[in-house]
Amino acid sequence: MAQIHLTDRALLDIEDIYGFSVENWGEKTAERYLDQIQDSLLLLEENPKLLLQKPEISNRFKLYQTGAHWLICDVVDNDIFVLTIKHLSMNLLDRLKTLEPTLEEEVSFLYQKALKSKK
């Protein structure tokens, strides 16, 4: 079974998704989005092979669609790092080109932290 790690950016994305959804569609919809994300994380923990490799978007990062959002992840050994969560309507290719260097730094930091906690 894989271990899921959420970056600070992913946690902020979840907060933003919740806030935006409450403001625009109400708390019930916001809760449904969060439930979808949580269910997807549990599913990926059990079956990391569900993550998609999409070279046209990123050669490094893997994706998983959950409802109206993409989970952008990196996999190192048996750890899945959820780097950011973006709405399907975003131009993911352009957005990831901008974010990729920062996301790589975050993965490296989290991976080192995860290694230390396993010792």
pLDDT range class, residue 118, cuts 50, 70, 90: low
Residue 34 belongs to a domain: yes
Q: In which domain, by residue range, is 40 found?
A: 3-114
Structural domain contains residue 37 = yes
Tens-place pLDDT, residues 36-67: 999 999 999 999 999 999 887 777 889 999 99
CB 69 within 8 A of CB 37: yes
**Position 48 in a domain:** yes
pLDDT of residue 110: 75
Distance CA 86, CA 95 (A): 9
Buried/exposed 91-116: b ≥16 CB within 10 Å, e otherwise: ebeeebeebbeebeebbeebbeebee
Give the integer Cα–Cα distance in Å for 3 and 45.
Answer: 6
Strand pairing partners for 75? 80
Is residue 25 in a domain?
yes
Residue 13, pLDDT above cutoff 90: yes
For residue 30, pLDDT over 80 is answered with: yes
Q: How many domains does the chain have?
A: 1
Provide the CATH number for the domain around residue 21: 3.30.2310.20
64-117, pLDDT tens digit by residue? Answer: 999 989 999 999 888 999 999 998 877 766 666 677 767 777 777 777 777 777
Per-residue tokens: 48:
């990391």
Q: Half-sphere exposure of residue 17, counting CA atoms within 13 Å on the CB side?
A: 28
Are 61 and 83 within 8 A, CB to CB? yes
Q: Would residue 36 count as lying in a domain?
A: yes
- The verdict on residue 119 lying in a domain is no
Q: Which of 64, 55, 98 is nearest to 82 (CA)?
A: 64
In a domain, 41, yes or no: yes
Residue 76 lies in a domain: yes
According to the model, what pLDDT value does residue 119 have?
A: 63
